[in-house]
Chain A
Amino acid sequence: MTISQTRNIGLPLMNLLKLKGFSILLQLQLEEQLLRTSSENWCILNDGTSDPTVVMGVSGKPAELLEIESVVLDQVPVIRRFTGGGTVLVDDGTIFVTFICSKDAIPGLQPYPRPIMSWSSLLYNKVFQGIGDFHLRENDYVFGERKFGGNAQSIIRSRWIHHTSFLWDYKVGNMSYLKLPKRAPEYRLSRGHLDFICRMKDYMTRSNFIERTVEATGFYFSVRSVDLEAIETPSNIKFCPSSRLLAKQELEAAARAL
């Protein structure tokens, strides 16, 4: 038996689903389904999403967070997701990494926001070891003072999800769809988007990041790859995802109400 095989004994199983260019709306709906109806652990890696899309957290108010006129004019889709947190503009330059775990999957980890966030930073410390000045700053992943990864979570009775959108690259023009949020981390110091964020592509290739993330996951779990087609919704469970696309009329009504 090899050393890595020996180390895997006793580690909880993690299903790894690797996607590329997958719709972020479908990804979010799949994630919520797996959180609420599965009892297994899942890691979802989506390398880019096809269309530029705004994704708000569960309590996001479009009129406060978005330049609605531009969003509507340019027909940018706006999604409200089921997890907490802020607003992001995602596209083919975004890499998504999601962990969905049962509460006992990580020994000694309390299923609350801050412990989960801290655990995630341990995993990503391994990913970014020797690459840039990586750390968890408040609830963001940063190189130095600049954010390149945003996090959100949802915690239910016996399971939790922690998902991240990584800015491997971004288009400067797309940032103009987002207003400066009222609720911002202290370290942001009122910086505009372009002074606050940085690109992961300046530090590593996409494939290197994905490879290192899978390897770091293997430190905590026994990882096995699965195909999307193999994931079934249990027929005896009724499930309706809450992540949804906001209608144009909703966005326009929100803008009028401001």
Chain B
Amino acid sequence: MASRLMWASRAASYLRISVFHRGFSSVVKDLKYADSHEWVKIDGNSATIGITDHAQDHLGDVVYVELPEVGASVTQGGGFGAVESVKATSDIYSPVSGKVVEVNEELSNSPGLVNSSPYDNGWIIKVEVSDAGEIKNLMDADQYSNFCDEEDSKH
């Protein structure tokens, strides 16, 4: 957990955003979140997408990331790929609709980036957003943090 706090602080410093810690998983303040545990960073009509610290922690060591093709369409809430962690494949869902403009090729050789740097070097795809209005359907950091707490407390 100490190393997780350290990388989160370093990532925060690099990204110039504030990070707060909700117990065991980190949440980054200026991102938006889906209830399927993906995050999205919006920059104009460009979106960068990955899975959250909560997700990577619960999935375990990622050994493979199934990436979409550049040019593929994604829809909000629709699946666009999967991560494999040891014995399980888990679908990943896009928080926004649009077109995939870039995929993180580094993940082919270093899938563990999803675990070690979920909000930074472990990003998965970049999307040209087709409907900025959909962002209102996503959670902010506080809402996502509460969502994770509720989900974990049910089990």
Partner-B contacts on A (CB < 8 A): 57-59, 82-86, 108-110, 112-117, 139, 151-157, 183
| Complexed CA–CA distance, A192 and B151 (Å) | 42
B87 touches which of A108, A153, A156 (Cβ 8 Å): A153
Chain B 114-155, CB-CB to A under 8 Å as 1, else 0, gives: 000000000000000000000000000000000000011011
B residues 42-78 touching A (CB-CB < 8 Å): 58-60, 63-64, 66
Within 8 A of A (CB), among B9-37: 36
Are A58 and B66 in contact (CB-based, < 8 A)? yes
Our pick among B63, B89, B151 for the contact of A183 (Cβ within 8 Å) is B63
Q: Are A108 and B84 in contact (CB under 8 A)?
A: no
Once A59-B63, A108-B154 are accepted as A-B contacts, the answer to whether A113 and B93 lie under 8 Å apart by CB is no
| Complex-state Cα separation, A155 to B82, whole angstroms | 9
CA distance A151 to B86 in the complex (A): 10
CA–CA, A85 and B88, complex, Å: 6
Q: Which residues of A have CB within 8 Å of B154?
A: 108
Residue of B nearest to A110 (CB): B155
Contact B155 A113 (CB under 8 A): no
Which single residue of chain B is at the shortest CB-CB distance from A109?
B155
Q: Which of B89, B151, B155 has a CB less than 8 Å from the CB of A84? A: B89
Cross-chain contact A117 with B87 (CB below 8 angstroms) = yes
Give the interface size class of chain B. Answer: 20 to 34
The answer to whether B87 touches A115, judged by C-beta atoms less than 8 angstroms apart, is no
Q: Are A152 and B87 in contact (CB under 8 A)?
A: yes
By beta carbon, the residue of chain A nearest B60 is A113
Contact across chains for B58 and A110 when beta carbons are under 8 A apart: yes
Contacts of A139 in B (CB 8 A): 86-87
A113, B36: Cβ atoms closer than 8 Å: no
- Whole-angstrom distance between the Cβ of B104 and the nearest chain A Cβ: 16
Q: Which residues of B contact A (CB under 8 A)?
A: 36, 58-60, 63-64, 66, 79, 82, 84-91, 93, 151-152, 154-155
Query: From B93, which residue of chain A is reached at the shortest CB distance?
Result: A157
* Cα distance A67–B66 in the bound complex, in angstroms: 25
Whole-angstrom CA separation of A108 from B155 in the bound complex: 4
- A85 engages B66 (CB within 8 Å): no
- Which of A108, A110, A154, A183 is B88 in contact with, Cβ under 8 Å? A154
B89 touches A82 (CB 8 A): yes
Q: A110-B155, A157-B36, A157-B93 are in contact. Are A84 and B85 (CB under 8 A)?
A: yes
Q: Which residues of chain A are within 8 angstroms of B79 by Cβ–Cβ distance? A: 156
Chain B neighbourhood of A109, CB < 8 A: 155
Task: Give the CA-CA distance A112 to B87 in the complex, in Å.
Answer: 11
Q: Which residues of B contact A156 (CB under 8 A)?
A: 79, 90-91
In the complex, residue of chain A having the shortest beta-carbon distance to the beta carbon of B83: A84
Chain B residues with Cβ below 8 Å from A152 are 87-88
Residues on A with C-beta less than 8 A from B89 are 58, 82-84, 153-155
Which A-B residue pairs are the 10 nearest by beta carbons?
Answer: A59-B64, A153-B88, A113-B88, A85-B87, A112-B58, A84-B84, A110-B155, A155-B90, A84-B89, A156-B91
Nearest Cβ distance between residue B150 and chain A, in whole angstroms? 12
Bound form: Cα–Cα A152–B84 in Å: 10
Q: Which of B64, B86, B91 contacts A155 (CB 8 A)?
A: B91
Nearest residue, chain A, Cβ from B151: A110
**Shortest distance from the beta carbon of B155 to any chain A beta carbon, whole Å:** 4
Chain A residue numbers with a CB within 8 Å of B59 are 112-113
Contacts of B88 in A (CB 8 A): 83-85, 113, 116, 152-155
B91 engages A113 (CB within 8 Å): no
A to B CB contacts below 8 Å, 25 in the list: A57-B87, A58-B66, A58-B82, A58-B84, A58-B89, A59-B84, A83-B89, A84-B64, A84-B85, A84-B88, A84-B89, A85-B87, A112-B59, A113-B59, A113-B60, A113-B90, A152-B87, A152-B88, A153-B88, A154-B89, A155-B88, A155-B89, A156-B90, A157-B91, A157-B93
